[in-house]
Homo-oligomer: A and B are copies of this chain.
């Protein structure tokens, strides 16, 4: 990726920091560091201020940083030097008076160590907790990021189509999950966006079921929640029900309710709509059908370098949609002991409405697969 992209993002952040009156920010969230620098390793912080940007890393990454971020200054610590000391040294050189630190991704223990390490600074250095500033910038994707997410969608969808055609009643949840991962990679994915959820029959009532040894058998249905991660690090996230046999009428009923709710939610997506209003639009359909208490999670979340990022659709979310946001819409109804349905697509907010990026058919009759 061209370095200019990262420099542009850092300039955007500096403009935001200026408005907030913060002279420098210590970026500790790994994905935020990647988004601002192109560096793909871990355990590294970025100190960014007006006129300087220093990546604080360790000897494992010296060569990689030279390749990935040739235009950044680097502070490399070795195994004798803990992170907080390296931070203190870089910060003391910058002499900013105040230092913002990302408070959602810095542990209390790290904060205290940094505070102690800079306690003797001249002039004194004041630490300030800074919220989701970088995360909020990341919520709005540029054209290159949207292209990456589209790639992740294609990889996930091709993998799913292929796994649907090889699925058999002898396969366990774990085997289906592994096969799906393997196939997505065949189609160019670096890996799965997250560990796929494959839940057979009544186990589909667990919204976050961990695939296990339960076999497809004659359970009638399987819930699959999966996505792909591109080599550029961007992710997709989908959920579909596969109907593999006879299913209880109740399940077909809730399938209809969830699908209506999902379509209603998607329809509400446009620039300026509040995050809460989109959640409400979908949730009301489920509540009106009498299943409100069986839909306990938020309606969706942003996707990008992380599988869960800003913004979030929920009954208590603040904020509005803006063009360039990419967010999942995934209502669900879960009946303990009986099974559950969730349907999930990825939606891009456009200038005048939205575009659904995912395209796996989702009418109930489309879900039926022949299994061996």
> Contact between B63 and A206 (Cβ–Cβ < 8 Å)?
yes
Q: Which of chain A's residues 94-132 have a Cβ closer than 8 Å to chain B?
A: 101, 103-112, 129, 131
> Contact between A315 and B79 (Cβ–Cβ < 8 Å)?
yes
Indicate whether A190 reaches chain B with its CB closer than 8 angstroms: yes
Indicate whether A191 reaches chain B with its CB closer than 8 angstroms: yes
With both beta carbons as reference points, the residue of chain B lying nearest to A131 in the complex is identified as B109
The stretch from A17-25, A207-215, A235-243, A351-359 touching chain B is: A207-215
> Contact between A40 and B104 (Cβ–Cβ < 8 Å)?
no
With both beta carbons as reference points, the residue of chain B lying nearest to A308 in the complex is identified as B43
Q: Which of chain A's residues 250-280 have a Cβ closer than 8 Å to chain B?
A: none
Indicate whether A30 reaches chain B with its CB closer than 8 angstroms: no
Indicate whether A246 reaches chain B with its CB closer than 8 angstroms: no
Indicate whether A3 reaches chain B with its CB closer than 8 angstroms: no
**Interface size class of chain A, counting residues whose CB lies under 8 Å from the partner chain:** 35 or more
Indicate whether A367 reaches chain B with its CB closer than 8 angstroms: no
> Contact between A315 and B80 (Cβ–Cβ < 8 Å)?
yes
As a 0/1 sequence over residues 81 to 97 of chain A, the CB contacts with chain B under 8 angstroms (1 = contact) are 01000000000000000
Indicate whether A368 reaches chain B with its CB closer than 8 angstroms: no
State how many copies of this chain the complex holds: 2
Q: CA–CA, A103 to B59, complex, Å?
A: 27
Q: CA–CA, A80 to B181, complex, Å?
A: 34
**Contacts A59-B297, A208-B61; is A129 near B109 (CB within 8 Å)?**
yes
Q: Which of chain A's residues 156-196 have a Cβ closer than 8 Å to chain B?
A: 174, 178, 181-182, 185, 190-191, 195
Indicate whether A319 reaches chain B with its CB closer than 8 angstroms: no
Indicate whether A350 reaches chain B with its CB closer than 8 angstroms: no
Indicate whether A1 reaches chain B with its CB closer than 8 angstroms: no
Indicate whether A70 reaches chain B with its CB closer than 8 angstroms: no
Q: CA–CA, A163 to B105, complex, Å?
A: 38
> Contact between A178 and B174 (Cβ–Cβ < 8 Å)?
no
Across the interface, A108 reaches (CB within 8 A) one of B41, B107, B298, namely B107
**Contacts A58-B297, A79-B297; is A111 near B108 (CB within 8 Å)?**
yes
Across the interface, A82 reaches (CB within 8 A) one of B41, B105, B191, B316, namely B316
Indicate whether A314 reaches chain B with its CB closer than 8 angstroms: yes
Task: Give min CB distance, A28 to chain B, whole Å.
Answer: 9
Chain B residue numbers with a CB within 8 Å of A58 are 296-297
Chain B residue numbers with a CB within 8 Å of A64 are 206, 208-210
Indicate whether A205 reaches chain B with its CB closer than 8 angstroms: yes
Across the interface, A107 reaches (CB within 8 A) one of B40, B103, B112, B297, namely B103
Q: CA–CA, A336 to B59, complex, Å?
A: 11
Q: CA–CA, A110 to B111, complex, Å?
A: 13
Across the interface, A336 reaches (CB within 8 A) one of B62, B107, B181, namely B62
> Contact between A296 and B79 (Cβ–Cβ < 8 Å)?
yes
Q: CA–CA, A260 to B336, complex, Å?
A: 58
Indicate whether A11 reaches chain B with its CB closer than 8 angstroms: no
Chain B residue numbers with a CB within 8 Å of A213 are 231
Chain B residue numbers with a CB within 8 Å of A109 are 103-104, 129, 131
Q: Which of chain A's residues 286-300 have a Cβ closer than 8 Å to chain B?
A: 296-298
> Contact between A190 and B207 (Cβ–Cβ < 8 Å)?
no
Indicate whether A16 reaches chain B with its CB closer than 8 angstroms: no
Chain B residue numbers with a CB within 8 Å of A136 are none
Chain B residue numbers with a CB within 8 Å of A298 are 79
With both beta carbons as reference points, the residue of chain B lying nearest to A64 in the complex is identified as B206
Chain B residue numbers with a CB within 8 Å of A101 are 108
List 6 A-B pairs, Cβ < 8 Å.
A58-B296, A80-B314, A103-B108, A103-B112, A106-B107, A174-B185
